[in-house]
Structure 1
């Protein structure tokens, strides 16, 4: 089965990456004449996250396209059961998904567990990729600061490996800084 193209969008916190990814997803949807599914990985755990989720929901509601939102903070492969006619999918975001998968278990964090989560996320993305027309993945750049906490180091290492693997598989990769997307991989269209 042919796999859909992946577009990877990353940047720092509040860099404008989600807004850019939503525009990119909308453009793909229009070009391919496909519906849009938004896979939301975030959980409203605190007031700030509630505000961020509400802001993103408002942005999608104000757009001129119809977004179908699916909430999958874990087990993203299950989302394909809700798809119709190979939509364009925006997964927002990989860092939250990794956090949910890695730290939701009440176990000691280990490299073995991180490797299992890494494999699970990549398998989930591949399942989605086989059932859509385009997959846009949003992530965060959180790899710049060294942490003395082993759990944070494990998270950063795993996220860095996921970024490398996904960008290798991606047709296009963007870094968004101050609201400005810079194409890091792919051809300008």
Structure 2
């Protein structure tokens, strides 16, 4: 019995030593000198306008999804659409939530469109009619035409059904400033 314990102990000790030796990084005293490309800034090339356009489009899709979450996802016991209590329980909180995705004027327009004076189950009843003239969540890049005058800070695009969305960069991310059928 003690021979088995001793053998097991020796095997365990061998595995621990081997594991420790294998897991430690090899010591390399002759490290290569950094190359010129490694010394260059991490963003040596400018972002293409196509990439910027996609960021604006994706930001608008996310913003529309968040508005749907806030105003159309929750239902009262009698199946009325209500302001999502997870994100907000007042107009001010709803506008604050939306301000991460929309500029302040657009967030106010959304709140004015969706919020009613009615209450159900202690929550504000929301307008079931969609604010946005088209659902971006059902579109693809092929359904979008980007404005030729777009810049690194402003992206406009039009859907195939004629709705123009405008986004602008604020604090290194895009927010929606307008959505209108032309």
Query: Taking structure 1 as the reference length, what is the TM-score of the superposition?
Result: 0.20
Structure of greater Rg: 2
Of Structure 1 and Structure 2, the greater helix share is in: 1
Higher RCO (Cα < 8 Å, 6 or more apart): 1
